[in-house]
Structure 1
Amino acid sequence: MSKLDLDREYDRRGTNSVKWDHKNFVDSRVSKTALPLWLSDMEFKIADEIIETLTKRVEHGFLGHSMPGDKYFEAIQGWYKRRFNWEIDKNSIFYSPGVLPALGFIIRAFTELGEGIIIQPPVFYPFSELIKGTGRVIVNNTLTKDDDGYSIDFEDLEKKVKDPKNTMLILCSPHNPVGRVWTKDELIKITEICRKNDVLIFSDELHCDLTRENSTHYPIKTLTDYNKIITAVALGKTFNVGGVPISQIIIDDNDLKLIWEKETMEKHYISFAPPLDIELTETAYNKCDYWVDEVMKYVESNFDFLVDYLDEHLPKVKYKKPEGTFLAWINLGAYVESEELFELLITKYDVLIENGRVFGESGDGYFRMTVACPRSVLQEGLDRIVKAIKELTEK
C-alpha cells in the first residue's frame, strides 16, 4: 500500500464545509479566508478504497431504500474484534443517523422530564445542549486538574450518582476535549458506582481509534457485565467522514433494546439506512485499517511538533500530549485573557480555534484546536497565535 500524502494541502472552500465555509457559525466576525483549526474534521483525504466504493455504487444508478445486511454487521464486528478484542453480538448493533440524534433518543426514552443527567466538564458541549433541550437537568461532575493532567472526582461522582433524581451518566471515552483515555480501573470504578445506584451509562466512544502509541482504549462493555450501558461508536472521526450521518449504537440488554426500538421506530421511524453509508461502513471497516494507522502516526508526530513548538515559544503553557483524540487542549491563560485572544485571532490574525469556555466554565483559559492537518497548516496557525499573544502581552 502506497504511503499517504498527508502533507498535501487541499482547497475545501466552496463545498458547504462547516469548517471552511460556515466559520461564522462560531462568530459572525470570522472572515471567509480565516485559517480554520477548529472543529474535529481532519484535513486528510479519505481512503481511496472508500472513494472507489462510493463511486461504483453511484455509477450503479440506484440509491433506493436500504437496510443494513449481514456484511454491514460483520464489518463492524470484525473491526472491534481486531482492534479491541470486543466481541459484539450482531443483535446488539443498532443503526442511528448520527450519535447526537441517538443521544437525544436515549435521553427521551430512558429518562424523565426534570431528572438529572451527569456530565464531566470540560466536555463536548452538545451534551449539555441536548440535556437542556429535552427538559432534563445538567449535573456537573467536573474533572479535576493538576500537573499530571485530568482525573475524575470519584467522591463527587458517587455523591451525585446516589441522588435518586440523577438517572443517567454521559461518559466521554476517550474524553473530548481534554484527551484522557480512561484506564481499566477508572472505567470499572465508574460502572460499579453506577451499578450500585441503577444509573444508566451512555458511553460515547467516538474517538476510540484515535489514541497515542502508548495509550490503550478499553470499550467499557469489555470490562463489566453491568447491563445498563449503551455504547455509541461511529466512523466519522476515525475515517474523516464526519459529514456522513451514520453511527452504531451497541445495546446488549434485552429490556434496553425494547425501549430503544420503541423510541426510534414508533416515535421517529428510524428503520432504513442510506445505501452509501452502508457501503462506506463495510469498506472502511474491512479495508482501511492501514489508512487509520498511517494517519495516527502522522498525528502523533504533529503532537510531538506541537509540544516542541510550545516549549520554545510559549513555555508557560507546559503542554503535554493528550492520550487520545486528534485535538489539542491548550491552556493559554498563563499569557492572556481568552476572550481577548479569541477576538484578536479572528479579527486581525485570521485564524480560528475554539474558545474553551464553550466546553464549560472549567474550560476558561483553554483553547481546542485540531492537529489532524498538514504540518505546514499547523505551523502557520501556531505562528499566528504566537504573534497575537505577543501583541497582547506587549501592550
Structure 2
Amino acid sequence: MKKLNLEIKHDRRGSNSVKWDHKDFIDSRASDKALPLWLSDMEFKVADEIIDALSKRVDHGFFGQSMPGQKYFSSIEAWYHDRFSWNIEKDSIFYSPGVLPAIGFAINSFTKEGDGIIIQPPVFYPFAQLIEENGRKVVNNNLINDDGYYYIDFDDLEEKAKDPNSTMLLLCSPHNPVGRVWKKEELLKIIEICKKYDLTIFSDEIHCDLTRKNVRHYPLMSLGAYDKIAAAVAPSKTFNVGGLPIAQIIIDHVDLKDRWNKETYGKHFIRFAPPLDMVLCETAYSHCAYWVDEVMDYVEDNFDFIVSFLEEKLPQTKYKKPEGTFLAWINFGAYVNHKDLMDILITKYDLLIEDGIVFGQPGDGYFRLSIACQRDILEEGLNKIVQAINELQEQ
C-alpha cells in the first residue's frame, strides 16, 4: 500500500487560493505573510490517483456537456455501503454544484417564505444566512455546552418543532464547528421529534468521513425510521477538493424528489454535471480510501498534540478532542476578550483563525482552527496564540 509523506509542505500562494491569497475575505488587515489556520481546507496534496485521472481526462481534449454515468453512481453507492452500511439507490442520487447551493435549493424546495427553519448554534454560519436571504425565519435550538462537550437540547427542540410555523430542521452531522458526531440514539430522537411534528430534515453530512478512531458516523437516512429527509454528502472535505464543486444529494421520499427537481431543473436548469468533477468522484470514491485513512491518522495525532499543548499552556480552555471534522473549537475567551485576541493576532502576530461569534451567539469566546496541516505549522500557530494571550494579559 502506498505510504503518504504528509510532512511535505507545499507553497499554495499565487494559485488564487481563498485561504492563502485572499485573506481579506476574513479580514482586510491581514498581511500577505499571515499564517492561515482559518478555512476548512487541508494542507495535504490531493491523492495521486485523482491528479492522474484528471490529467488523463484533460488530455482527452473535449469538455462538452456531460451527465452522470454508471461509474459515477456505482462509486458513490459502493463508498457509502462499504463505510457506513448505507444502501443508496441510483435514482435517489441528485447532482448539486456543492453543498451550500444545495441547502439553498432545499430551502426553496421544501419550505415557503416565512417558514421557520431550525438550526443548532453554534453552527456553520452560512446556514443562518441562507435561511434569512431566502425569506425564511431562523429558529435557534442552541446546543448545550458542558465544559466544551455539546449536547442537543431536546426539550427545546420539541418546543421549536411543534410551532406550526416550523417546517424544517437543518441538521449538521457531524457538527461543524463543535465536532460532535451524533450517537445513534440522538439521531433517532431527532427523527422522533421531526416525525411527530411533520418536519422535513435536511442533513448536511459533508464531514461524515472525517471521524476519530472508534467513532462511528450514522447517516441519518440509513436508520430507516423516517423518509422525509434529504442528505448532502460530497468528496470536497474528504479528499481536499473543495474547489471542484460537486455534491450528492440523497432523497428517497417521492414528493421531496419532485420538489427538488422542480427547483433545480425547473427553475435553474441544473441538469448536467461537469466532466472533471465526475471523474474526480469516480476516482476518489473507488481508489482513494487509503488516502483518507492516512490523512485522518495524521489529523488524529494533531488533535492529540493540541490536547497536550493546551493542557500545559492554556488549561483554562478545557479543550476536548472532537469526535469528528478536522476543525478545533477552542475557548480562548477563557483568557481574554475575543475581539482583542482577533485584533492582535491579525495586526501583530500574522495569524488568521476564525472568531466563534460568527457561528452564532453561543460561539462567543470560542475560535475555530483548521488543523489538517503539517505539525510545525500547527505548533507555530498555537505558539502565536499563547504569545498574544500573554501580551494581552500583561496590558
The TM-score with structure 1 as length reference comes to 0.99
Secondary structure (helix, strand or coil) at the match of 2:176 reads coil
CA distance in 2, matches of 1:128, 1:33: 32
Deviation of 1:225 (Å)? 3.2
Match of 1:113 in 2: 113
- The one-letter amino acid paired with 2:359 is F
Match of 1:122 in 2: 122
Decide whether the 8 Å contact of 1:188 with 1:224 is kept in 2: no
Mapping for residues 225-236 of structure 1, pairs under 5 Å: 225-236=225-236
CA separation of 1:148 and 1:38: change in aligned 2, threshold 3 A = closer
Decide whether the 8 Å contact of 1:191 with 1:224 is kept in 2: no
CA distance in 2, matches of 1:28, 1:306: 28
- The one-letter amino acid paired with 1:43 is E
- The one-letter amino acid paired with 1:140 is N
1:277-323 per-residue CA deviation (whole Å, 9 max, x = no partner) reads: 00000000000000000000000000000100111111111111000
Deviation of 1:223 (Å)? 1.1
CA distance in 1, matches of 2:153, 2:123: 14
Match of 1:206 in 2: 206
Number of positions where the alignment pairs a residue of Structure 1 with one of Structure 2:
395
Mapping for residues 54-133 of structure 1, pairs under 5 Å: 54-133=54-133
* Structure 1 unaligned regions, length at least 5: none
CA distance in 2, matches of 1:118, 1:148: 22
CA distance in 1, matches of 2:31, 2:115: 41
Does 2:276 match 1:290? no
Match of 2:153 in 1: 153
Match of 2:23 in 1: 23
Deviation of 1:334 (Å)? 1.2
Match of 1:270 in 2: 270
* Structure 2 unaligned regions, length at least 5: none
1:326-358 per-residue CA deviation (whole Å, 9 max, x = no partner) reads: 000000111100000000000000000000000
Secondary structure (helix, strand or coil) at the match of 1:181 reads coil
CA distance in 1, matches of 2:24, 2:153: 36
Mapping for residues 222-261 of structure 1, pairs under 5 Å: 222-261=222-261
CA separation of 1:167 and 1:154: change in aligned 2, threshold 3 A = same
Secondary structure (helix, strand or coil) at the match of 1:58 reads helix
- The one-letter amino acid paired with 2:271 is S
- The one-letter amino acid paired with 1:204 is D
CA distance in 1, matches of 2:172, 2:224: 17
| Mean CA deviation greater in 220-229 or 361-370 | 220-229
- The one-letter amino acid paired with 2:175 is H
Decide whether the 8 Å contact of 2:201 with 2:229 is kept in 1: yes
CA distance in 2, matches of 1:101, 1:240: 19
Match of 1:314 in 2: 314
Secondary structure (helix, strand or coil) at the match of 1:53 reads helix
CA distance in 1, matches of 2:185, 2:16: 43
Deviation of 1:182 (Å)? 0.2
Deviation of 1:148 (Å)? 6.5
Secondary structure (helix, strand or coil) at the match of 2:145 reads strand
Does 2:362 match 1:362? yes
CA distance in 2, matches of 1:230, 1:18: 29
Secondary structure (helix, strand or coil) at the match of 1:249 reads strand
- The one-letter amino acid paired with 2:55 is T
Secondary structure (helix, strand or coil) at the match of 1:237 reads coil
Secondary structure (helix, strand or coil) at the match of 1:238 reads coil
Decide whether the 8 Å contact of 1:161 with 1:194 is kept in 2: yes
Secondary structure (helix, strand or coil) at the match of 2:238 reads helix
Q: CA RMSD in A?
A: 0.7
CA separation of 1:262 and 1:247: change in aligned 2, threshold 3 A = same
Decide whether the 8 Å contact of 2:331 with 2:366 is kept in 1: yes
Secondary structure (helix, strand or coil) at the match of 2:182 reads coil
| Mean CA deviation greater in 147-156 or 384-393 | 147-156
CA distance in 2, matches of 1:334, 1:262: 49
CA distance in 1, matches of 2:353, 2:154: 31
Secondary structure (helix, strand or coil) at the match of 1:139 reads strand
Match of 2:38 in 1: 38
Secondary structure (helix, strand or coil) at the match of 1:192 reads helix
1:247-295 per-residue CA deviation (whole Å, 9 max, x = no partner) reads: 0000001111111111111100000100000000000000000000000
CA distance in 2, matches of 1:219, 1:320: 24
CA distance in 2, matches of 1:268, 1:8: 42
Mapping for residues 339-378 of structure 1, pairs under 5 Å: 339-378=339-378
Match of 2:136 in 1: 136
Secondary structure (helix, strand or coil) at the match of 1:250 reads strand
- The one-letter amino acid paired with 1:145 is N
Secondary structure (helix, strand or coil) at the match of 2:19 reads helix
Secondary structure (helix, strand or coil) at the match of 2:189 reads helix
Does 2:178 match 1:172? no
Does 2:37 match 1:48? no
- The one-letter amino acid paired with 1:382 is L
Query: Where does structure 1 differ by over 3 angstroms across 4 or more consecutive aligned residues?
Result: none
Deviation of 1:126 (Å)? 0.2
Identity, % of aligned pairs?
67
Decide whether the 8 Å contact of 2:148 with 2:320 is kept in 1: no
CA distance in 2, matches of 1:105, 1:42: 27
Decide whether the 8 Å contact of 1:128 with 1:138 is kept in 2: yes
CA distance in 1, matches of 2:62, 2:148: 54
